[in-house]
Every structure is written in C-alpha cells, then in structure tokens.
Amino acid sequence: MGKAFDIGLERLVGGGVGEPRNNEAARLADSPSAAGSGTFYLETFGCQMNEHDSEKVAGVLLARGYRQVESADAANVVLYNTCSIREKAAQKVFSRLGEYRLTQREGQTIGVLGCVAQQEGEKIFSRAPWVSLVCGSASYRKLPELLAQLEAGNRRVTGLDTDTDETFETEVTRRDNPWRAYLTIIEGCDKACSYCVVPFTRGPERSRTSASILEEVRQLADAGYTEVQLLGQTVNSYADPSARKMRFSELLVAVAEVPGIRRVRFTTSHPRDFGKDIVEAIEAVPAICEHVHLPVQSGSTKVLRGMARTYSREEYLEKIAMLRAAKREISLTTDLIVGFPGETEKDFQETLSLLDVAQYDGAFCFKYSPRPNTPSLKMADAIPEEEKSRRLAILLEKQREIQRARNEQLVGRELEVMVEGKSKKEFQWSGHTSSNKVMNFTSRAQESLGDYVQVKVMGATPNSLVGEKSETGS
C-alpha cells in the first residue's frame, strides 16, 4: 500500500547519496522549471519493482522541488502506481480512482503510473475523466517533461512508449529503507510466458551497464547501506550492454566486494538462465545471500509447455539438484500457478509431487488469472473458479507443512540476523537471516536497527523462526 513521507530536499541531499547526486538534486531544484510549492502523494500497489520504481519517481519529483505529503488531501499531484498482473489487482485501480474522484480538490492533478497505465493507456481518460496523466514504467524518464506540460496548462498527458532501449536511472532516488537499497539492473522482459502481461506493460529487456551499477553501489555503501537487492523481472538474464560484458554471476561478486556491502540479494531468477556459475558465486562469496527465488509455475511439463516457460519439469529439477548440492545451504522459494487452462487433476498432482522433491522454503501461490493481450487468454479448457480455489487450498496446505518441517530443522542453529524492527513487547526484535527467513528474537541488549547479530533458533513456525540473541553477541 501507499508509502507516505513528508521530507524536504535537505533529507534527500543529506541522505548521503554521494556528491554528484547531491549536486544534481540541488541543480534540478534550482532550475527555473522547479515546481517549488508543489506537493505530491504517491500510492504504490504491486511487486517490489513497483515499490522501487516509486522510490525513483519520488526522487525525481523531490529534485524538481516538489514535497511529498502523507495524504492525497494535502497534495497538488496524486500519483497511483498500479499493478495488473492479476485481474483483481487491476480491478482495484478503478475503484481506487473512484475514491480519489470523491476527494479531488479544484486544480488537483491525478495521475496513473505503472502496468495498468501501460495496459489501458488513453482508455483511462474515458473511464476516469478526472485523471490527467497516464504513464507506463518504460516512459518514466519522461515524467519531468510530462509534469512540466501539466504545469504549463495541458489538460491531459501520456507516456506510453515501450520501444525504448533506455532504463529508468535517476540520480535522485528517494529510498525508503535506511539499510537495504533496491537497484533495478534489468528492466522489462523478453520471455513471453503465455499468461503474463509484463512483456506488454514493461516493454523489452534493457540492462544497465555494470559500471553504472557498481558506481551506484559504491555511493550506497558510502551512504551507510549494507544490503543491496538487485532487481529484475528476470534478473539473471542480465546482459551488460557495455564493452566489459560482465556476466550476472561476476556482477554479483563485484557488488559483494564493494567495501561496506554485507549482503547482496537478487530477484527474480528465471530457471532457463540459471547456471552453475551463479551457484559458484554464492559458494565463494559469503556476502551473496544464501537464497534463490526460482519460480517454477507448474510441476507438469505439459502445462509448462502451454505456459511457454522454456523448460521441462526434469530440466527444472536438475537446477534444484544443483542448488541443493551447493557447498552452502541455499534456501529456495518459488511462484506457482494453479488452474492454468487445460490443467488436469494429473497435472496438478505433478505440481504437488514437485513440492515433495523441491522442498521449498517458501512459495507464492496464485490462481490463474486470464489477462488481456496474453496468448493463454484464447486457450481452451478453462478451469472453473471453484476448482482453482480447491487446488490452491490443497497446494497452500501442503507447502505450509513443508515449510514448518524445514524451519524446525533449523532449531538449535545459530544464524546471522539483520536487526530491522523492535516489537512493542519488551526485549523483542525482528529481522531477516541471509536465507531470507523472518526471525523474531529476544535480546536484553539495546539493539541498533541495521546492525547484524548472531541469534540462536529456539523454535519455528511455517513462516518464521523464533530465537534468542546468542551470548557470543554480534
């Protein structure tokens, strides 16, 4: 849901994102086109990439002199960053826009960003005539220009091109977490899974140069960030566009070697491009976190073919075997879809049996949702909604028991945790392990958020670990 902050440019500049960045923010804020007194409210819905896009959008607006406020009521510009991956998410957009209409003030601009903006385009203006800006993620570079057009009196503006080879890099990202920084290294997707809107809403794959990624990581480390999460719809399909041609696994190592960086995460990996070199990088470099998110979607080769996933059940299981044989214990998570057109009971049973073999530490499970423009929309043998719900419930229950058993195996172990939260209950803290498990733990010390401590696992639930800070300390 929406993140709301009211911070000035000083916070951004003082946020310690490095000298060149500060100068750029100051230069943009001083520019004649700066909005000065403008305020914006930004609400975000959807995946981590949307959350991070919003951080970048906020950075761009702050650098233009806008101020971020905590409620739509207080804003001159209301921006809604949307998701259309499943029908329910897309439906929510128009009901939310309806709510904005009720509270819209005279002269207030309402803009739609993200996947629904790209998918629906100018149709949004007819369905919600109170909206005046529609911009998809592949056009975010144009946002300052679009806002300037609105400031100049234009009633309606759009940014809807996807035929770009540019990535949305900005000197002035406004980051929401003081220790963990997200960094998009590859945008868009060329994979064309038959059920998925992402190739239409985010455009073709475009990678950032390794030099610009590493420069940003150095600035982040200087600013005090210790964890970096590299993002991409298929992050491991990264293709360095510079002459250096750094491989994804080399990039992981290079990021982990930046002084001050203690944890490197990456998501989402596509099975087809997941090679031994990535496992070797994790084995060799402790700062690369021992967690891989490798969506399988289905355990049936027939369904995988229908989904155009480009691998079979057997090929996927070979990747799992490679990960399980690694010298470090790597936790594994996945995404699964039930009720894809033509999925029989036998296909579904194959998904269940794949869970037995893969032994995932976590899974995001979804009912298939038909999406506009996608090839699977026209496929025969749709599965009734009740049957999808039945399969989903069985899948969730099975995965829950697997997680409980896997987490229980960790009882007695000592794991490193980044301290991320303090509970209202005295002496209770929480954070994540390198394997990305949530740890709720007891410590009588006054912990500092962002620190790393050793915690002994005392108990387990399907979704988290319970621990006590070790006597050996941090």
Which residues would be at the binding site for ligand SAM (CB under 6 A)? 47, 85-86, 195-196, 198, 233-234, 268, 270, 295, 297, 335, 337, 366, 368-369, 371
Structure tokens that stand for 126 in this block: 């007819």
> Closest distance between ligand SAM and the C-beta of residue 115, in Å?
9
Name residues contacting ligand SF4, limited to 41-80 (CB under 6 A): none
What minimum distance in Å lies between the beta carbon of 117 and ligand SF4?
17
291 binds ligand SF4 (CB under 6 A): no
DSSP helix, strand, coil percent of the chain (3-state; round to 5)? 40, 20, 40
Q: What is the arrangement of strands in the sheet containing 67-68, beginning at the earlier edge strand?
A: 67-68, 39-44, 77-82, 109-113, 133-135, 157-159
Nearer to ligand SAM among residue 85 and residue 457 (C-beta): 85
Closest CB 189 distance from ligand SAM, rounded Å = 6
User: What is d(CA 411, CA 149) in angstroms, rounded to the nearest whole number?
Assistant: 59
Integer Cα distance of 322 and 264 in angstroms? 21
Counting Cα atoms < 13 Å in the Cβ hemisphere of 471 gives: 0
**In Å, how far are 186, 309, 341, 364 from 302, measured between CA atoms?**
30, 11, 11, 21
* Partner from ligand SF4, ligand SAM, none contacting 199, C-beta within 5 to 8 A by type: ligand SF4
- Give the whole-angstrom CA distance, residue 354 versus residue 399: 11
* Residue partners of 273: CB distance under 8 A and separation at least 6: 234, 236, 237, 248
Whichever of 184 and 234 has its CB closer to ligand SF4, that residue is: 234
Query: What is the nearest approach in angstroms of ligand SAM to the Cβ of residue 349?
Result: 19
189 belongs to the binding site for ligand SF4 (CB under 6 A): yes
Q: Please check whether residue 316 is in contact with residue 303, taking contact to mean a CB–CB distance below 8 angstroms.
A: no
Applying CB under 6 A, which of residues 47, 172, 198, 419 lies at the interface with ligand SF4? 198
* Minimum CB distance to ligand SF4, residue 296 (Å): 11
Q: How far is the CB of 199 from ligand SF4 (least distance, A)?
A: 5
Residue 158 pairs with which residues in a beta bridge? 134
Work out how close the CB of 203 gets to ligand SF4 at its nearest, in angstroms, rounded to a whole number: 11
The binder of ligand SF4 chosen from 56, 64, 174, 191 (CB under 6 A):
191
CA distance 294 to 268: 7
Can you tell me the distance from the alpha carbon of 210 to that of 241, in angstroms, rounded to the nearest whole number? 8
| Chosen from ligand SAM, ligand SF4, none, partner binding at 299 (C-beta under 5 to 8 Å by type) | none
Nearer to ligand SF4, 111 or 199 (CB): 199
Tokens 């998918």 found at: 119
CB of 366 to ligand SAM, least distance (A): 4
Alpha-carbon Rg of the chain, whole angstroms? 23
C-beta atoms surrounding 51 within 10 Å: 17
> CB-wise, 18 or 341, nearer to ligand SAM?
341
Q: Which is nearer to ligand SAM, 69 or 307 (CB)?
A: 307
Binding region for ligand SF4 (CB under 6 A) out of 196-204, 239-247, 340-348, 432-440: 196-204
Among residues 139, 234, 269, 374, the one that binds ligand SF4 under rule CB under 6 A: 234
Task: Name the one range near ligand SF4 by CB under 6 A: 20-28, 184-192, 221-229, 435-443.
Answer: 184-192
Residue 391 contact, options ligand SF4, ligand SAM, none, Cβ 5-8 Å cut-off depending on partner type: none
Give the Cα-Cα-Cα angle 54, 60, 63 (nearest 5 degrees).
135
Nearer to ligand SAM, 297 or 435 (CB): 297
* 96, burial (CB in 10 Å: exposed 0-12, middle 13-18, buried 19+): middle
First to last CA, the chain: 34
Number of residues that bind ligand SF4 (CB under 6 A): 10
Among the listed residues 196, 217, 304, 337, the single contact to ligand SF4 using CB under 6 A: 196
- Residue 199 in the binding site for ligand SF4 (CB under 6 A): yes
Which residues of this protein are in contact with ligand SF4, per CB under 6 A? 189, 191-193, 196, 198-199, 233-234, 270
